[in-house]
Structure 1
């Protein structure tokens, strides 16, 4: 994986946070793939930051479950197991469908307008068919929903969970036929929300999460060829 596209744009945010955001984005969009080593010397040179700043950022990403320290290898991007995926979607389904229903009760006019804009942006991105834009627009929709749920604790938990979900979102959307289903499911969620129907909202949201989980497991379960050229099964 080439590091040439990873860089820091100096803004007002603390440098440590900028490094975290840049590396998190590089992991979520696949520039750093599962199993890729994160070599401190190379990252310091690429990002033009000191080793202490980089180490603080990497510790945060490790706490978020995006990287792990492997004996005799050092830090690398996590490779999620079948059980990891099952647990992530189980927790996501329980909390996110509740957050969607709570949005109806707590969202203000501005948040409803933001949600409508996010839905329109997602449908435009889906029409364009650019994976990175689809993922970004989908994330924006979820973030708006969670921000308006009125439960700061649940929003904080989901924010942390979504950092790991980003590792799976591209896998789910890459499954043949998944995108048209995703569009229909997202529209069903939005329509249920707009109708102010919390029961229907939770039902269609549960269906969406279950469908995403199935697509992810199917995609990850397919035979693939490792970088060493050995063919293996991700999951039995």
Structure 2
């Protein structure tokens, strides 16, 4: 007998979009999901987008797989505005971040969410992103529209994010929702970040802690320190730019 749908089904967090959740069937044994991995997720999702490859006469990544993964990472960062409208900014941003290999922690919860196929279900307004850990993720500027509408993000960690560049940080500094909520930020080993992107973070007026480590693109440390002292005098700025 089929179970009747919930009378409030439209107010529930759905599981992954159709086609993206099929990978939950791939398990080591019943009841146990595979360990989360961005590369594994990319392979699992490949079936959904493989039809796009059928019309290509020449594979541009045939001589270097980096072209392929760069293209695929761009697919993962593409913004689906209808999805944001249907499920809300927190759910849509969660899907984007986990799809790209990042993790999120929701307000009022201790556990980090890192398995895309195990995203929680429930009321749309229940799970609000409080922290983002994008270590080793493939998030890039074209996906940052997902950040709009997130009202409760207090901490963001960007570590070894090869696609993060100045435009991404400038975008973060311009978002009014983050200007009102973001308290801590860590940027570590992001080789494409320069002084221009870091200085743009001075607009995050609630920022209390900023860690900058292993950023070879930063050239004028003194000017950087002075800019933050002027804009955010109460900020704790930690620099390790060797």
| TM bracket, shorter-chain basis | under 0.3
- Say which structure, 1 or 2, has more relative contact order (CA 8 Å, 6+ apart): 1
Structure having the larger proportion of residues in strand: 2
Greater C-alpha Rg: 2
TM-score by length of 2: 0.24
Structure having the larger proportion of residues in helix: 1
TM-score by length of 1: 0.24
